[in-house]
Structure 1
Amino acid sequence: MQFTIKQIAHLLNGEVKGDESLTINNLAKIEEGKAGDISFLANQKYEQFIYTTNASAVIVGREFEPKKSISATLIVVENPYTSFTLLLEEYQKFLNFSKIGIEQPSYTGEGAELGEGIYLAAFAYVGKNSKIGKNVKIYPQVYIGDNVTVGNNTIIYAGAKVYSNTVIGNNCVLHAGVVIGSDGFGFAPQPDGSYRAIPQLGNVILEDNVSIGANTTIDCATMGSTIIRQGVKIDNLVQIAHNVEVGKNTVIAAQTGVAGSSIIGENCVIAGQVGIVGHISIPNGTKIGAKSGINRTFKKENTSVSGVPAFEINDYLRSTAIFRKLPVLEKQVRELEKRLEELTSEGAFTEV
């Protein structure tokens, strides 16, 4: 990457104070910056470093007033943290989408369609009649089954497996080891104590701008579709079972498991190691604390819950405060019981 400060300022809608012709080829922390780097100052705890940094440019907020001389060129923006995030995103796009072409050995099945600007790495497999959009990047050892649709600008990293009939939207990211469309956990108990597998005939749909973390698995539906709506971000090592629906812009952290046919609303935040039982609904805007167990439907939107089983967060916090005091409370109760016995033996109480 090599851009002038002027070009970067134009991208960020910022104002340049200093030499706009300098070239930038790297992003760095403000305390580690060197010539050719660009950094940012969003937290005033780090202000000391702006006076000593060797970075060529620093992104700052409009309210920033220097107390000493600064050697770096400044790019003044409304929100330096947001602007630097945008710059990181553009840099990531530059890295991710620079690859192009079809490496060998790789396999493309009969009737498959590959869009313009595709990267198909060595040892990747694309099944029959699958349709791969423009600028899609498919890394080594990716398996894409038959009749799969992949939208434009999607990235599928090494070792991901996409089963047949899956639909993936535009601008999605599937990290290494992801499995999309594996069988749901459906088994019918038999009179002799054995289990008979229930055929899983549905598929998985990932809408646009979905990100799936490494080694996460999303099962196909028994019938119909398991659906991950637009803008959902799922962390590593998450299990999404058959016929689950996750509402748009919901985020799910690592090691969470969602059982079959549950519906998660929009804009929910689910922390790590949460367990969600099947056939329930979670309303829009729900926030679920780490290690919580969700065993029922919540009806009120925009609430926070935690615990096993989970309940409203303020009640949970009060309960945990009491729980921590249980040893002391137990000691007090035993002392009161002992004192009561002593008073009774001393005849302090008379029967009525």
Structure 2
Amino acid sequence: MEVQLIEIAQFLGCEILGDKTAVISGVASLDKAQSGDLSFYTHHRYANQIKQSKATAFIISSKNKDQFINCTVIFSPNPYRDFARVINKWFNTFIFPDPNIHPTAIIGNNVEVAENCSIGAYCVIEDNVKIGTNTILFPFCYVGKNTTLGDLCILHPRVTLLERVIVGNRVIFHPGSVIGGDGFGFAPDPPQGYFKVPQIGWVEIADDVEIQCNTTIDRGMLGATRIGLGSKIDNLVQIAHNVEIGEHSVIVSQVGISGSSKVGNWVTLAGQVGLVGHIKIGDGAIVTAQSGVAKSIPPNMVVTGSPAQPIAKNRRALAEMNRISVLKKKIAELETRLNKLEKANK
């Protein structure tokens, strides 16, 4: 694939500085780019890669133009997003399968499959399922009874949707994700052990959600577990029963969210964050990596640590911890001097 840079700029609605006739044949990161490649720059941590980069052109913010002297650049208000737009239009290698139902697929009773769907080999679709237009199920997917899939959804291989899952439009499930399994509910019943609490709820997933590999979302014990519009959930995330996640939130790898917690809109939970149950995370809050959250967080607050606390408070506490060794040394010196004085006065 070859495309003129001027065509890319027109597609993005952005200004070019430099060789407008340049031809782009690929995309790459700053350090891997070769002649013919388009790259992008967003963060000062990559500044040392600019001079060594062999890319033909770069998508950058206008505030960084002084770092790209004598380079061909496209000025963008959001370079990362626009770089992704270019990939999606000209260099995306994802191959959509042809619409059909593979003869090895097992289709239950009263199943509705809309136009232009693709049902791959060895998929199992149980009774009373509805699948919207242009939805793709790659091989070995399972869709449980009374589940609804919207339009333009993609289920990569070995996705499992159990019964009563409700999915909106343009939702992407990556391999190994399991949606609608039992929540972890057991009532203590000594001396016999534990009595399993039936999990009779469901899962609701709104439009434009993406759920990546080996993530699990449990159905509600009573009522729904909900994932809001446009939220993105990374690999290896555990979302327990009756959790509610708002719109456009980002849940990063290995996060665990305990039952009945509520996560607001535009929240970021970084890697390995843990939330106890029945708390609320306010809109716009950020929880940094490996934090343990034991109580609710107000909107727009950045917290860190375990137990999680406001980041400024946590930094002060860490600074005080670092002073302990210095204080111990001073105390030891004072004890030595005091002992010497006591001996001298005897």
Q: TM-score range by the shorter chain?
A: 0.7 to 0.9
Tell me the amino acid that sits aligned with residue 303 of structure 1: M
Secondary structure at the counterpart of residue 325 of structure 1 = helix
CA distance in 2, matches of 1:42, 1:296: 35
Number of the residue aligned with 1:317: 315
Structure 1 residues 120-154: Cα deviation after superposition (integer angstroms, max 9, x where no partner): 21111222121111221211111111111111111
CA distance in 1, matches of 2:69, 2:106: 61
Number of the residue aligned with 1:227: 226
Q: CA deviation at 1:88?
A: 2.3
Number of the residue aligned with 1:134: 133
CA distance in 1, matches of 2:12, 2:193: 62
**Does the aligned pair in 2 maintain the 1:33–1:39 contact within 8 Å?**
no
CA distance in 1, matches of 2:152, 2:160: 18
Identity %: 36
- Structure 2 residue runs without a partner (length 5+): none
Q: CA deviation at 1:83?
A: 1.9
Q: TM-score, normalised by structure 2?
A: 0.86
Q: CA deviation at 1:261?
A: 0.6
**Does the aligned pair in 2 maintain the 1:97–1:135 contact within 8 Å?**
no
Q: TM-score, normalised by structure 1?
A: 0.84
* Distance change in 2, residues 1:236/1:108 (3 Å): same
Structure 1 residues 219-256: Cα deviation after superposition (integer angstroms, max 9, x where no partner): 00001000011111111111100000011111111111
Tell me the amino acid that sits aligned with residue 318 of structure 1: R
Do residues 11 (structure 1) and 37 (structure 2) align? no
Q: CA deviation at 1:27?
A: 2.7
Tell me the amino acid that sits aligned with residue 301 of structure 1: P
Number of the residue aligned with 1:280: 279
Q: CA deviation at 1:42?
A: 6.0
Tell me the amino acid that sits aligned with residue 121 of structure 1: G
CA distance in 1, matches of 2:3, 2:112: 35
Secondary structure at the counterpart of residue 139 of structure 2 = coil
**Does the aligned pair in 1 maintain the 2:62–2:76 contact within 8 Å?**
yes
CA distance in 2, matches of 1:268, 1:219: 20
Q: How does 1:1-352 map to 2 (within 5 A)?
A: 7-14=7-14, 18-19=20-21, 26-29=26-29, 32-35=33-36, 37-40=37-40, 48=51, 53=55, 59=59, 68=70, 79-90=78-89, 95-97=94-96, 99-298=98-297, 300-347=298-345
Moved more, 228-237 or 316-325: 316-325
CA distance in 2, matches of 1:283, 1:202: 25
**Does the aligned pair in 1 maintain the 2:33–2:39 contact within 8 Å?**
no
* Distance change in 2, residues 1:293/1:42 (3 Å): closer
* Distance change in 2, residues 1:91/1:208 (3 Å): farther
Q: CA deviation at 1:114?
A: 1.6
**Does the aligned pair in 1 maintain the 2:5–2:20 contact within 8 Å?**
no
Q: CA deviation at 1:325?
A: 3.2
* Distance change in 2, residues 1:77/1:301 (3 Å): closer
- Structure 1 residue runs without a partner (length 5+): none
CA distance in 2, matches of 1:176, 1:209: 17
Tell me the amino acid that sits aligned with residue 302 of structure 2: S
Q: CA deviation at 1:62?
A: 6.5
Moved more, 214-223 or 275-284: 275-284
* Distance change in 2, residues 1:144/1:197 (3 Å): same
Tell me the amino acid that sits aligned with residue 32 of structure 1: A
Structure 1 residues 155-213: Cα deviation after superposition (integer angstroms, max 9, x where no partner): 11111111111011111111111000000000011131410100000011111111112
Q: CA deviation at 1:342?
A: 3.7
* Distance change in 2, residues 1:267/1:161 (3 Å): same
* Distance change in 2, residues 1:151/1:312 (3 Å): same
Q: CA deviation at 1:293?
A: 1.1
